[in-house]
């Protein structure tokens, strides 16, 4: 068994419930039902176990975490455990009063998602009329309270032209960081490759814009960037390496090495209801399946980049090559690489493809206050 170090970060998927229905949602096709969600005291225990294990940062995510009525209690429990808390939210479901309560509870940081830079684009992509207006209001409240803010923009063929404006908005909002992530195709997103795949030219232009903005905004805004995977020659270092820096806990308590790990059929996952988190992290079969480099076949096994990207993404290898141990097909050394690039071009050329939403598009309620 590979010797593992403690994880740095834990993603707590508090619920899969969400008012938005983004076509690139990375949550599993089969979502956890509300009645199976961990209770408040279960989460509080898991946060304490995570802190004991060595976790420093807790990302409270979903679905939409604000859907949980006990969010403030959960934040307080996480702070009492000594964790740095980051709320990953669409903003829908947050009121000024609720944000104040989260501040009182000790929330450290907010990460606000951006589906587009105009109401037309954002509401169409999120499948939620009035969502953009609501989000802009929430951004103002976040600024007034003084939470450190990160904007999180998922970009794809339909909205990549809005990247310069997204960066401007981050500066205007006083955000310290923007995560510019070209859409990753996991879970529901795989159904929308025809509608969302960027063109090769768009992908190259996005890289140029990010490079220019990083120089121009040095000291003002940090820009994290996930380039368009399918158009790249080398894969991303997914999760920083499997079972090396982070873990995910699903709404019903399963502990995953990454958010898409349930797409790998031969893996079985431990549950925080049954075992302590440290036992799951160090001894769990799923965490040890692809930890380190011993599991790698060729060409990864003898590759000079094997500790740079750890063979890419296991879930992508499963989805595209049908084998989670295969070299990520994004890699130029993969036998699937040429085929993948051809498929990417075909998806990107599928003009007029309709978005497939997770649920029927809805409408934002009027602000409660």
Q: Per rule CB under 6 A, is residue 314 in the interface with ligand FES? A: yes
Q: Which does 306 bind (CB under 5 to 8 A by kind): ligand FES, ligand SF4, none?
A: ligand SF4
Q: Per rule CB under 6 A, is residue 261 in the interface with ligand FES? A: yes
Stretch that binds ligand FES, among 111-119, 173-181, 238-246, 273-281 (CB under 6 A): 238-246
Q: Which of 37, 123, 270, 328 forms a contact with ligand SF4 (CB under 6 A)?
A: 328
Integer Cα distance of 169 and 349 in angstroms: 30
Q: Which of 31, 81, 196, 239 forms a contact with ligand FES (CB under 6 A)?
A: 239
Q: Per rule CB under 6 A, is residue 232 in the interface with ligand SF4? A: no
The CB-side HSE value for 240 (13 A sphere, CA atoms) comes to 10
Q: Per rule CB under 6 A, is residue 84 in the interface with ligand SF4? A: no
Q: Per rule CB under 6 A, is residue 75 in the interface with ligand FES? A: no
Integer Cα distance of 203 and 215 in angstroms: 19
Q: Per rule CB under 6 A, is residue 309 in the interface with ligand SF4? A: yes
The pair of structure tokens assigned to 369 is 């206050």
The pair of structure tokens assigned to 161 is 């032209």
Q: Which of 129, 165, 305, 343 forms a contact with ligand SF4 (CB under 6 A)?
A: 305
Beta bridge partners of 247: 10
Q: Which of 19, 91, 235, 284 forms a contact with ligand SF4 (CB under 6 A)?
A: 235
Q: Which of 59, 76, 186, 358 forms a contact with ligand FES (CB under 6 A)?
A: 186
Classify each residue of 324-359 as buried b or exposed e, where b means 16 or more C-beta atoms within 10 Å of its C-beta.
bbbbbbbbeebebbeebbebbeebbeeeeeebebbe
Q: Per rule CB under 6 A, is residue 303 in the interface with ligand SF4? A: yes
Annotate each residue in 260-299 with x if it binds ligand SF4 (CB under 6 A) or - if it does not, as one string: ---------------------------------------x
Please say whether the beta carbons of 215 and 264 come within 8 A: no
Q: What are phi and psi of 150, to 5 degrees?
A: -120, 135
Q: Which contiguous run of DSSP H or E holds residue 86?
A: strand 84-89
Q: Per rule CB under 6 A, is residue 326 in the interface with ligand FES? A: no
Stretch that binds ligand FES, among 149-157, 218-226, 292-300, 311-319 (CB under 6 A): 311-319
Stretch that binds ligand SF4, among 100-108, 147-155, 305-313, 348-356 (CB under 6 A): 305-313
Q: Which is nearer to ligand FES, 66 or 261 (CB)?
A: 261
Q: Per rule CB under 6 A, is residue 327 in the interface with ligand SF4? A: yes
Please say whether the beta carbons of 127 and 21 come within 8 A: yes
H helix runs in 146-276, sequence order: 163-172, 193-196, 200-216
Please say whether the beta carbons of 177 and 150 come within 8 A: yes
Integer Cα distance of 114 and 221 in angstroms: 16
Integer Cα distance of 242 and 235 in angstroms: 14
Q: Which is nearer to ligand SF4, 17 or 236 (CB)?
A: 236
Q: Per rule CB under 6 A, is residue 260 in the interface with ligand FES? A: yes
Integer Cα distance of 8 and 327 in angstroms: 26
> Where do contacts with ligand SF4 occur on this chain (CB under 6 A)?
234-235, 299-300, 303, 305-306, 309, 311-312, 327-328, 331, 333
């Amino acid at each position: 068994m590979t010797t593992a170090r403690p994880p740095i970060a834990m993603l707590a998927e508090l619920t899969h419930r969400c008012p938005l229905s983004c076509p690139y949602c990375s949550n599993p096709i089969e979502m956890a039902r509300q009645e199976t969600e961990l209770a408040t005291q279960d989460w509080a225990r898991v946060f304490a176990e995570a802190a004991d294990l060595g976790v420093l940062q807790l990302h409270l995510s979903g679905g939409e975490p604000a859907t949980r009525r006990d969010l403030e209690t959960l934040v307080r429990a996480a702070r009492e455990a000594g964790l740095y808390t980051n709320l990953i939210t669409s903003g829908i479901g947050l009121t000024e009063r609720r944000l104040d309560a989260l501040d009182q509870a000790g929330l450290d940081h907010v990460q606000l998602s951006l589906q587009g830079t105009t109401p037309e684009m954002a509401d169409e992509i999120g499948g939620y009329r009035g969502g953009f207006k609501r989000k802009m209001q929430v951004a103002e409240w976040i600024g007034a309270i003084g939470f450190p803010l990160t904007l999180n923009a998922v970009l794809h063929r339909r909205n990549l032209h809005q990247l310069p404006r997204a960066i401007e908005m981050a500066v205007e909002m006083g955000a310290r960081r923007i995560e510019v992530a070209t859409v990753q195709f996991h879970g529901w997103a795989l159904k929308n490759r025809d509608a969302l795949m960027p063109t090769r030219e768009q992908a190259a232009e996005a890289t140029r814009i990010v490079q220019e903005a990083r120089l121009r905004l040095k000291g003002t805004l940090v820009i994290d960037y996930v380039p368009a995977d399918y158009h790249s020659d080398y894969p991303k270092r997914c999760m920083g390496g499997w079972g090396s820096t982070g873990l995910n806990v699903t709404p019903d308590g399963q502990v995953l090495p990454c958010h898409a790990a349930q797409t790998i059929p031969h893996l079985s996952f431990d549950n925080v209801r049954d075992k302590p988190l440290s036992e799951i992290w160090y001894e769990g079969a799923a965490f040890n399946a692809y930890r380190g480099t011993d599991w790698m076949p060729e060409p990864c096994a003898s590759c000079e980049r094997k500790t740079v990207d750890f063979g890419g993404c296991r879930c992508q290898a499963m989805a595209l090559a049908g084998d989670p141990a295969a070299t990520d097909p994004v890699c130029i050394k993969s036998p699937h690489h040429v085929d993948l690039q051809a498929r990417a071009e075909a998806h990107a050329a599928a003009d007029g493809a309709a978005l497939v939403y997770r649920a029927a598009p809805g409408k934002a309620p009027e602000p409660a206050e």
